[in-house]
Every structure is written in structure tokens, then in C-alpha cells.
Structure 1
């Protein structure tokens, strides 16, 4: 698999996973603003893709030797985008190219729904969602001064 095929594969799998799980992902505290894009944190994206794309898992030792910055890895994979905006654009393109009576855009299945056992899966850390290398979380911080009565 060449690099461009890998980029297309991870993008399709990421968007398919996001589309299927959007209802709870939008409420999860993993969202950051990175280089002007609102998206889940790089660590979250890479962890998800490590399950969805076996070719990426095989390449990760080499990739991490080249850069330990998850934001740079996500950008190099072509995934520094807002998944909601990207899905909207793809659906608009699909409707413009196809007859409206045709089926809507279909993404590759995630394949990860059966792989995780919630009884043994570790609980996620909120700290990594707030600080993800070069990107900042979008949560509002607590006021620095105490409230006066």
C-alpha cells in the first residue's frame, strides 16, 4: 500500500467511524482547535485508527521514529479537518453527482464495534483531551478570581 492509498484508506475509515458514532462523539470531551480546524484530539484519532487500519499500525513505529508529535502525524495523514464539515461536503458532492433517488453516500464500516469489551476497557483520561501536544482544548476554563457576594 502506497502513502496516498493509506491516506485515502484512513480518511474513509475515520469518516465512516465518525459518521456511525457521531451521536456520542460530539459530546465526548476530546475536541480541540488545531490550526484553525475543530476536530477530535490527535491522540483520539490515532488511537481509533490503530484499531480500524492494520496497515497504519504496522507503520506507526517508523512514523513515531520520524515524529512524536501526534498533531504532525494527523496532518501528514491528511486528517486535520472538521469531520462534520467534511461529511457535509462529501454528502453535497454525492447528491450533486448522483440522482437524488439513489442511495446516500456510504462509508466503509468501522469494524471496531465488536472489538472493544467495555467491561475490561480502561476508562479514558480527560487530561489528554484538554492538552493534546500543540493544540488547545475548546473547553472554557474556570474563572481565575473567586466570585464576590
Structure 2
């Protein structure tokens, strides 16, 4: 198991989860300041990630045998950071737009009739060609 890859995966999954649930997480009473970083409590982070990342849930029993201090575990996993600041530092992810949110120039005219579809250039047409009688 590559520990650096696991750290990166956990960081990304935590930030994705936080971004998606930020509206209620910021109001939840799980916030602490640990080593100068404002973030949700270590127990909350570990419990969330144990659900999101199966590798971590397999690894946690061993890790807890080595250290039962959740703050030290979170720090060792590279998760002792303020998620708001980390998200601000990332370039914004493109979001998928629903059909109703598309600008007018990207919407199809309801009366639009699509052209007959053809297969790849190297293939024969889907519709049979009509022979012209002479």
C-alpha cells in the first residue's frame, strides 16, 4: 500500500465530501482548533472517511492499536487542515448544468429535426440506398 497515495485519496475524498455538505457542516458543533488549524473534530473526520474509503476502514484497527489519539491519526494522514482554506486554494471544479440552466444559445429549438444519422465514414449508411430505376 502506497501511504502517500492513500493520503492524497483521503484528502480528495474529504474535500469532495466537505464541498458537497458544507451548508450543514459549518453549522454542526464538531469544529475544533488543533495545532492552529480550524477544522471538524478528528473523530468526525475519521468516521466520515472510514465510510468513504474502504482502505481506511481496513487500516484503522491497526492504526488505533498504535495510537488511540484521533488528533495524531488525522495529522499523520495529512488531514490537519482547514477545509474552507483548502477549497479556496483549489481551482473551481466545473459543474454540470441542468437543461433548464443552459443559456438560450445552447438549447435546441423544439421544432428542430435532426439530420439522418450515418455510421462512421468507413461503414455503410444505416438506411439502405434506393436504387434509381432507369
Give the TM-score of the pair, scaled to structure 1.
Answer: 0.61
Partner residue of 2:73? 73
Partner residue of 2:44? 44
SS of the equivalent of 2:90 reads: helix
CA distance in 1, matches of 2:56, 2:46: 9
Aligned pair partner of 2:93 in 89, 105, 108: 105
CA distance in 1, matches of 2:68, 2:85: 27
Partner residue of 2:83? 83
**How much is the aligned-residue C-alpha RMSD, in angstroms?**
0.9
Partner residue of 1:144? none
CA distance in 2, matches of 1:57, 1:86: 24
Cα offset, 1:105, TM superposition: 2.1
Structure showing greater Rg = 2
Aligned length, in residue pairs = 94
Could you tell me which runs of 5 or more consecutive residues in structure 2 were left unpaired when the two chains were aligned. 95-134
Q: Are residues 1:63 and 2:63 paired?
A: yes
Task: Kindly indicate whether structure 1 or structure 2 has the higher relative contact order, using CA contacts under 8 Å at least 6 residues apart.
Answer: 1
Cα offset, 1:90, TM superposition: 1.1
Give the TM-score of the pair, scaled to structure 2.
Answer: 0.68
CA distance in 2, matches of 1:58, 1:105: 30
